[in-house]
Structure 1
Amino acid sequence: MENWIEFLSRYQREHNLKQHQLAERLGMTQGGVGHWLRGTRRPTLATVNEKLEKLGLAYLEARVMVVERDMTRESRGVYAVERPPSVNALRHASFRFPVLRWADLQGALPHTGDTQELTGYMPAGNAFWLPVENDAMNAASGRSVPQGVLVLVDAGIEAAPGRLVVARQPGKPAVLRELIEEGGQQMLRPLNTLYPTVLCEEGCEFLGVVVRMHGVL
C-alpha cells in the first residue's frame, strides 16, 4: 500500500490541501487519513476504489495506466472500468483530458473533444485543455501565457484573486484572464497591458483555473 500513500501525498501536495481538506474530499475523518498517510492502517482495494471515485479518478486504462475523467470516458471495450484499479498503478498514473475549442465554451461544456492530451497533474474536478488563440496574456516580463500554447483548466479549483481563470460574462465569449480584486470588486485583467481590464459583471461564470501550460501548437 506504499503506492497508495504516495498517491495521496502527491494529490495533497498538488492541490495544496491541509489534511482535514483532503479528508473532506475523501469523505472520511482527518484521523483516518492521518493513519493512511503514516502507514499505520491499510485500506482494502475496494476502499481504494471507493476513494478514487470520491476524487473523480476511478477510471484507469489497463495497459498504459491513464486515469480517465467522467468528462473523457470512452468505450467499455477499451477501458477496464469494471475492475478496481491496481494500487501499484496509482504510482505511475497519468491523466488524459480533452482539448476543447473556445467555441465549445459557449454553452454546456462537452463531454469530450476531438483530441486529448496527457499530463501527470491530478485534477480536483473536471479538467480540459484550451489553446491560447491571442496575445492578451502575453506579457513583456514576468508571468506570461503566449499565444499558441495549451493551458490545462481545472474546474474543481476555486477561482481566487491572483489566479489565471477562464471566465464567461453574460452574452460574451469566454476569455482567459487574471482574476484580481480592487475595492471589493472582482475584475478580469489581461497580462498584456494593451488590453483593457474589465469588471466581473453580475452572472460572470468561472469555468476553471489554469493549472498547467503545455507546448506550442
Structure 2
Amino acid sequence: MDKWIELVKAKMSELKITQTELGERVGMSQGGIGHWLNKRREPGVTEMNRVLQALGMDFLEVAMVIREPQQTADDDMPLAQKYNPYFRYPVNDWRAPFEVRETEPQPYSKAQDKQRFELTDYHARGAAFWLTVAGDSMTAPRGPSIAEGMLILVDPAAEALPGKLVIAQWSDSDDAIFRKLDEEGGQRYLVPLNPTWPKALLTDECRIIGVVVQATARY
C-alpha cells in the first residue's frame, strides 16, 4: 500500500495532476482520492488499478510472494528505483539457465522483446533471472514450500550461505537443480524440501549458480 501511494504521488507530480483532476479521471471526489493517498482509507486492488490506469500506468497483479529481505537505505536508493520500484528479469530455462540474461537490472519499460521477462521490486546485486519450478522436490509437507509452477528469482551475486535456497549444477549435467543448502559436520549438502527426495553432498564437481531470493505464485 505504501509503495502504491508513493508511486501514485510521484506520477501525479511528474504529470502535474492535482487530486481533483485525478478524481475526475477516476470518477470520484477529490476527498476520496485524498483519503486513499493519506491512508485514512484503503482501496481495493480494483480501485488501485483504476488510479494507475488513469495515470497511464500498468495494472497490479495479485501474487503470493516469498522473498529474501533487502537492506536498502531510502536515502541511498536511486530515484528510478524509489519512485518506479519495478525491475524486469528474463525467464530462463533450467538447461544452462545462466547463459541468457541481462547484465544489469533494468527499470521496467514497455519495450517489446522476444525474451520473456517478469517484474519485481527486488533490485538484484547481480545478473538475476527467473526460473519456473518443475517437479515436487521443493514441495514440503509443512513449513516453507515451493510448489511446481511457481516462479523463482535467482541472484548469482547473493552469498550462498547454509540455510539459503540455491540453484546448483554438476559439471557433467546440462540441467540445474533447485535445493536448500545445508551444512552438517563441516560438509555442505543440497537438500530437497520434499523428504521423499534424497539429499546430495556438495562437491567440487558441483557449483552454486545463484541464490533464490524470491518465489512468486500468481492466481
Please indicate the TM-score interval, normalised by the length of the shorter structure.
0.5 to 0.7
Given that 1:169 and 1:200 are in contact with CA atoms closer than 8 Å, whether structure 2 keeps it comes out as no
* Contact 1:15–1:124, Cα closer than 8 Å, also in 2: no
1:188 to 187, 190, 212: 190
Counterpart of 2:141 in structure 1 is 140
Gaps of at least 5 residues in structure 1 are 4-12, 20-35, 38-47, 53-86
After superposition, the CA RMSD in angstroms is 2.7
Asked if structure 1 preserves the Cα contact closer than 8 Å seen for 2:96 and 2:176, the reply is no
Matched-pair contact (CA < 8 Å) for 1:164–1:179:
yes
**Which structure ranks higher in relative contact order (CA pairs < 8 Å, sequence separation ≥ 6)?**
2
Residues 153-181 of structure 1: per-residue CA shift (max 9 Å, x gap): 11110101000000112212310000001
Q: Does 1:96 align with 2:98?
A: no
Q: Report the CA distance shift for 1:216/1:156 in structure 2 as closer, same or farther (over 3 A).
A: same
CA distance in 1, matches of 2:81, 2:165: 32
Computing the radius of gyration from Cα coordinates, the structure with the larger value is 2
Deviations 1:48-105 (A, max 9, x none): 9xx96xxxxxxxxxxxxxxxxxxxxxxxxxxxxxxxxxx3664223100000011233
Structure 1 match to 2:131: 130
Q: Once the 2 structures are TM-superposed, how far is the Cα of residue 15 of structure 1 from its aligned partner?
A: 3.2
Q: 1:15 aligns with which of 51, 65, 70?
A: 70
Structure 1 segment 77-88 matched on structure 2, within 5 A: 87=79
Letter in 2 for 1:15: Q
The count of aligned residue pairs is 141
Matched AA of 1:128: F
Per the normalisation by structure 2, the TM-score is: 0.57
Aligned match of 1:83: none
Q: Structure 1 138/126 Cα, relative in aligned 2: closer, same or farther at 3 Å?
A: same
Which structure 2 residue ranges, 5 or more long, are not aligned? Answer: 1-5, 7-67, 103-113
Q: Percent identity, please.
A: 36
- Is 1:109 the counterpart of 2:99? The answer is yes
TM-score by length of 1: 0.58
Q: 1:159 and 2:214 equivalent?
A: no
* CA 175–88 in structure 1, closer or farther in 2 if over 3 Å, else same: closer
